Structure 1
């Protein structure tokens, strides 16, 4: 049974989450504050954590940082905070996904299933050489991309962006992280760079660049590769 730790101080929301999760055969441990959450995480070893950021005893970002000190359990943030910098702070602290309140229960459950599928696989296994999708193949060793049997010419910058996303399948990579890795700390606020280069990658790799299947934008937060 997949075990979910729900960290939320709103009793009505906790009740709704518990009912919906248990109806789908998840095991659920509710925690009303950060201290209880950290204690239950150590004792129960959940498969995924659903975490509110506005807790009565500590900020949810501090809970994420504490968890990341010893576990890679997927953390799905569920918060009313909508500001981009707050979302990025949670993701940079180690959260795997972010949903703003109010939310659709169906979307939450879908994101939860995706997080569970990625457990233990948020990065490619060492030595992985080929990543194959229905549309294109990426050779990480030869640094080559093929589509429909033909080589796709990528610029060094396009390749660098693609490689970072490919090596973190399913995981949301923040704009800040991508900018820092590809352009350096001095360009960490140039989000227009990302928009331009991601658009170029989609034109080269996606069947429908305006409705990407593989290179997904999370508005205000970053990008993810869905293989």
Structure 2
């Protein structure tokens, strides 16, 4: 969404396709539309119609390893030619799109021991690229401009993500006429209680909801007759406390 916002000035310019919905051979027809004589021929393809109507966009193929090989063949043509013909015979141009594909390839492999001067992230990158080559053909990978490997999140990363989440919460409360503030100890508490190399930032989202969003919602409901105008979050005795002003 941020990439779509930065490039095309709108998060609505993101087209997201979850590849877990395209695991069967017949799923190809959902991308470009059903051929003549098949059910759904009058309906446009999920991808081609969206790109035809919104040619400047970011296309996200989420978890590409789950897609059926025939779906990958369609994507190979898009990457190679920059256009594709849908079931209605219309040529859909992809030259003004940014195509992003995500994969969990190699995430199930152990990081192994760190030795010979190589970091754990370098070993993880090698394993991920090898796993990528197991389900993507060389000609497909050869047409990808860049393969980006994401390192595991550190506690500092978690802290920055927590700041963004609290910033979103602050903006939402400001729309309701409530000023929300917090101190550094709140960020430290959230990172300490939610940091996990295995589960990533989703743990942090659940912690923010449990420790802040739910208690704030409860306070707003309880003070219905006397609306709250200010809230301050701080850590006391290992727990987060909310002070209503």
Tell me the TM-score normalized by structure 1. 0.27
* Larger strand proportion of the pair: 1
* Larger helix proportion of the pair: 2
Tell me the TM-score normalized by structure 2. 0.26
